[in-house]
Structure 1
Amino acid sequence: MDKFQSYLPYCLKKISLFLLLFVSVAASAQQVSSDVGNFYPLLDAYAGQHEARLSYLADEGWKNTEKWRKTAKAQLHELLAFNPQPAPLNSEVLSTTRRAGYTQYLVRYNLNALQKTEAFLLVPDNLKKPAPAVIALHDHGGFYFFGKEKHTLTDNQPPILVDYVQNLYEGRYYADELAKRGFVVLCPDVLYFGSQKLDPALLLDSNGYEEKAQDASESERIQLYNRQVAGPNETAMNKTILTAGTTWLGIIAQNDRVAVDYLLSRPEVDPDRIGCIGLSLGGLRSTYLFGLDPRIKTGVVAAFSTTYEHMLRQYAHHTWMMYVPRQAQFLDLPDVASLNAPRPLLVMNCRQDKLFSIAGMQAAEQKLSAVYTKMKAPEKFRAVYYDVPHSMTIQMQEDAFSWLEKWLK
């Protein structure tokens, strides 16, 4: 009896917490509509119990910044769960194209013992000494057939690619603009895009792609591939990745860190002046590369900034590539970028972006601003808003170039 009486307060506490949660969920269910309907209150309430506990702002006890950084990075690596056997780069140049003010090399290198990728390397003319370098990370956009080609100039482009670049980048290939301004630029393909894209011939069901593509134009074939092959198979791809015991974003982050290894193998590159930039999925990739790799000295994130809290109700409908199970318990999206603070970071937001709410953008800005202020370097973080849809306009590109020149030159 004494043992039961001592255990009773604990039981009552647990029952009270459960009832409180139940009442809260039941009350909210009638008030909020969302992408997941009546399940939103349950998931929102659960998420609120497990806020990002390894955020630099979550614990006033983080007196040692480097200890926090080491602890948080180790946890993130565990969550990303991709640790393939490494392999020598064994890089090779596949082709060389002379362009106005720079040379474009198509290169290939090992990402690990299981993967290779191709990338464009842009080297400015007349370099007298090692130059600053930028890793330009391509977007998603539902355009899987190409990767690096979406922001790097190529010859004989199909009309569908020309239109795509016009819509997202106002017709300008920003990687080439960086090369013209004296940066060595690396533009790698990542898993599921370009040289690493899904092969329809090896699918159990390619949705009739081969037959439909036979009499189609080049642009029509590419559109068929994007919409009827790669797009629909994202779900099967992610399920298989999870079944294999890893995460899609873990593979992407590892691939992008090897891009730094490749740049460091090039004599044209100053190892102390490497930055990264990307739009949309490229912005997410830039967030993780900047946060995880201390060799990155500055970062630019375009049109991919929000918090998990502001995605729960309406905006958690992105590509499968961005989701990491249980990450929200430890690190929010802006917390990932903060892992490299107080290194300089520019975040560019689009006010008309239908993929993120303004409130989410502002919440991410506030969190990062607080981190940089706490680290006594508020001038090294900047968030800018543009009254445009999801894109990287020429004005945004110019602002990004100025940022990179300020911190890398």
Structure 2
Amino acid sequence: MSLTRKAYRAAILHSIADPAEVGIEASYEYFEDGLLVVDNGQISALGHASELLPTLPADIDITHYQDALITPGFIDTHIHLPQTGMVGAYGEQLLDWLNTYTFPCESQFADKAHADEVADIFIKELLRNGTTTALVFGSVHPQSVNSFFEAAEQLDLRMIAGKVMMDRNAPDYLTDTAESSYVESKALIERWHGKGRLHYAVTPRFAPTSTPEQLTLAGQLLTEYPDLYMQTHISENLKEIEWVKELFPERKGYLDVYDHYQLLGERSVFAHGVHLCDDECARLAETGSAISFCPTSNFFLGSGLFNLPMAEKHKLNVGIGTDVGGGTSFSLLQTLNEAYKVMQLQGARLSPFKSLYLATLGGARALRLEDRIGNLQPGTDADFLVLDYNATPLLGYRLQQANNIAETLFVLMTLGDDRTVLQTYAAGNLVHQR
């Protein structure tokens, strides 16, 4: 832990509200020549360099970036650790893709050495892409989560993860039981939840791969540990929705399955939600649940277009997710590039400030962590990025033509990728340097 006071000078931008609720102009703060002051891993001051510099001691260490933008660290609200080795697998829609690629890849996590190796690669990729917090699916094996948390703890990262619960409709080599998933999840919760900046998420893969008994025990864990997270998938693919209706004919619909087993709540995040109806959005909002919008994966697996305006109408918390390996990039900049296109195809607009919100403060709100991450307010964790305006020749040339921060931000999200991230800081420590 760095115990010194440091300052960082550059253009600085962060979200302070949802543009859908307050309008674009009131949704962000931008300092063309800004200063961010960090004390003991937390932000202690933010403002115009001209105003803050005279208040600081003469010997303070100031890093001055030219042609760069400081933003909060990105927050990925849906991603799969065990699918790192199969990202970009060809040619299937969701259910066939799971059987052909995903399950065989996840089976390798029975081996702790393999889990350790992938956790290291996975965290390096997150940080290289500027992602400082992620909501992570492990595999069915507890060691997948142990390996991930061990690696995250060493870097003092704010991360959330859980062991997949899956006791049917998957290969025998990859299923647990209702009871073993409960016992193993509980052991992981006792070991990791609330340790440093780590949190645990109860993780039933999705309704078709859990029996009613397993879903009941998932709900029981949430009752026993009230500040746990819950993550699963919902309404991603039309065939999947039909399958849920066949498996749970007594329930009103897909969301009602989770509702019945008491899995909705303020720390529950449902990935995709491409085919939700108005009533389901209203119920999610009423319970304080959130959706992870995964545009890259929804395109890649042919799942459909997420209706963000409908979610906004219901004031439903929405974060953005890469959904690696259904998604094809760890980069949230690239994921926002795809999100813009999803909206275009529906005749709607996605402003760059709404995109910034989704990748930072919106994700933090979905995770109920906006008092800690997702913005650069004094008192929050010093999780931030330095984005390089000259990361590639084309980006540098294009940004010379940009007339304002809105255009600059949009170009970064359209042309930017991991190369754009010059440095990533977590809790004030430099955890990635390009």
* Greater Cα radius of gyration, structure 1 or 2: 1
Q: Give the TM-score, by structure 2 length.
A: 0.30
TM (normalized to structure 1)? 0.32
Greater percentage in strand = 2
